[in-house]
Structure 1
């Protein structure tokens, strides 16, 4: 899914930030946070700023846990790494699957046509250890991409946190 068709909604923390202004977001960050309502795609923000700027800000807001991906139909949030305790093998697998989907989403959002190779490597992984071995490749691709450069480190920290939640040393 390209960023222009990606849909994001505010998390509880994001709604609190809109009300309190406690995190000191800059004007563009705050505008994007307010406009991401879980219904309209990021492409609707094209008249406000360039796609690269929107992508950078979306990455920043994701890293701050102020927004979360939504399904294309506006339904419940698309999976992404969450901070929770691991209590079972099923939860471990669910955490790894969420991390995997998050990596695919960010690759597709920031890498354009180059995402195919990165996404292929991610999708071919079968367990946490294999996924961990792909994280460096994914991160370097994001760092090398014009649209991903500014947010690559934040995305990496998000993935590492998700892997830690799954009980995988990141």
Structure 2
């Protein structure tokens, strides 16, 4: 119960911060996101009553990921593009009914295109990805916190969840873009 509440509150707080201030806080949110995901993974290895070891393991994993992501953020954005592109390419191949031999090739081609796009336009894509990830994280946190009332938000295939995520992400992106218009904070840093 305790770890569920901690994950829900952190998900909502970090999600909203990422959604509306992700560009400004990008390099500083990475350690918190890494710690949250590390804690969630570690918590899944233990019983629901355990909290000490999941916290310690999550903290260690989070610190390692945070250190790497903070200093290699630009590469991390490119890797995020490659990962997203590969998944999109594989989905596209499956949608088109292409064979299992051609699907990885399409996945790799789309991964390279997305990786180049993410690296080239990383400022806008940091805004887009943080607003989208933040919106999803905040809505998932709400679903965890109030499962009886908002549990349906955890179902990513639910059309209303999709619409709410896109609307919240669009508002977050617009807020970030207006706030950071003309300020090139990260693009000049490699």
Structure 1 or 2: larger strand share?
1
Q: TM-score range by the shorter chain?
A: 0.3 to 0.5
Question: TM-score scaled by structure 1?
Answer: 0.33
Question: TM-score scaled by structure 2?
Answer: 0.31
Structure 1 or 2: larger helix share?
2
Bigger Rg, which one: 2
